[in-house]
Amino acid sequence: MEGVNIFLSQTVTYGVVYILAALGVIIAGRSGIFNIAGEGIMLSTASVGYLVAYLTNNALMGFLAAAAVGALFGLLFIWLHETFKINQFILGICLILFGMGFSTLIYKIVIGVVLSPPSIPKLKDITIPLISKIPILSAFLTQDFVIYFAYISLIAAYWFYYKTKIGLETRAICESPKAADVVGINVVLRRYISTIVGAALVGVAGAYLTIGITGTFVPLITAGRGYMGVGLAIFCSWRPQRAILGGLLFALIEVSSYQLRLITDILPYQFFNALPFFLVLVVMVLFRKQVEFPASIGKEYSRE
């Protein structure tokens, strides 16, 4: 039972990266903005969050800095799109490439070239009396504060989009921005807010890789998880309540590949590195008929 609990705990830990990344993409998508730049944002915030946490010896400061950098990426994305009507997918690709270079550059400026990167203390788990003694349940609830933040974010996003007037109006934008504009909804303002908030959450996901999981930074540390977050948002049909199940499923596949790597040396490690992407692709194909796209997501809107 202890082995199962450890396995589930690792799944939840890695699942938070997918959950927050996907939730950030979903929040932007609900206003009609398809932000595919998750990989670039996560790389940049993984580097900045790690550096700030290392320099200040404060993990919370690292996450706040990462969220701020993610928000800046979102602001740049939506400003370029709304001001110059640049295609959202082209913008996303440009920001991915920028994030790849920026993450390594800022790290080398601050740390320099070293044989092994300095490490920072990992986050401490929050132990809830009694619950921490219950098998399986403790794997989900004996975790660090970022995981609780992810739970709260999911609940808040569901409540906002399905239980509030503003949330329902925002959902209407991604179906028909013109109709929403006609009834007096400020489409541009909602898109700005949604994209910035969503990118900030993606930023927290990136920082969690370095501050919450590895305790250090290496180039390309995200290993494609930003792309997976975009895929998960699609898999969830842009519904925040599905992100937790999808995120845990993606994380389960990743953690399982790590376990397989430990018990066999017949296959090269590159096979296990590629295995999560292949299995996620299989899952996406199997559930393709359940995927729904908002009518106007990724499309430019102008009042003229």
Q: What is the tens place of the pLDDT at every residue in 246-256?
A: 999 889 988 98
* pLDDT the model gives residue 1: 62
Provide the residue type at 122 as one letter. K
Whether 303 is in a domain gets the answer: no
pLDDT of residue 265: 74
- Amino acid identity of residue 65, one-letter, is A
The pLDDT, as a whole number, for residue 133 is 77
Of the candidates 163, 148, 280, the one whose C-alpha atom is nearest the C-alpha of residue 224 is: 280
- Give strand pairing partners of 143: 126
Could you tell me the sign of the dihedral formed by the alpha carbons of 5, 259, 282, 277, in that order?
positive
Handedness of CA 263, 214, 284, 139 (dihedral sign): positive
Residue 162's domain comprises 2-290
pLDDT score of 56 more than 90 = yes
Residue 5 pLDDT:
84
Q: For the residues 25-47, what does the mean pLDDT come to? A: 97
Residue 183 is inside which H or E element, if any? none
pLDDT at 34 over 90: yes
The answer to the question of residue 195 being in a domain is yes
pLDDT at residue 304 is higher than 70 = no
Q: What's the whole-number mean pLDDT along residues 245-271? A: 84
* 281-298 residue pLDDT tens: 887 788 888 888 889 999
Count other C-beta atoms under 10 Å from residue 282's C-beta: 11
Residue 139 lies in a domain: yes
Higher pLDDT, 257 or 160: 160
Q: Which two tokens stand for residue 166?
A: 């503003």
Q: Please indicate, yes or no, if residue 134 is contained in any of the structural domains.
A: yes
Q: pTM above 0.85? A: yes
Checking if the pLDDT of 4 tops 70, the result is yes
Interior angle at CA 154, CA 147 and CA 183, nearest 5: 150
The CATH number assigned to the domain holding 72 equals: 1.10.3470
% pLDDT > 70, the chain: 99
Q: Is residue 299 part of a domain?
A: no
Span 135-163, pLDDT tens digits: 788 889 889 999 999 999 999 999 999 99
Residue-wise pLDDT for 184-239, tens only, equals 999 999 999 999 999 999 999 999 999 999 999 999 999 999 999 999 999 999 99
* CA within 13 Å, CB half, 188: 8
**Inter-residue contact 93 to 39 (CB < 8 Å):** no
Q: How far is CA 197 from the centre of its chain?
A: 12
In a domain, 191, yes or no: yes
> What total of structural domains would you count in the chain?
1
Mean pLDDT of 161-183: 95
Is 304 within a domain? no
Structure tokens at 213: 């999981």
**pLDDT at residue 150 in the model:** 97
Query: Per the domain annotation, does 103 fall within a domain?
Result: yes
Residue found by looking up tokens 């990136």 in the block: 206
Eight-state DSSP code of residue 219: T
Give the rounded distance of the alpha carbon of 34 from its chain centre.
Answer: 14
- Select from 278, 172, 226 the least CA-distant residue to 22: 226
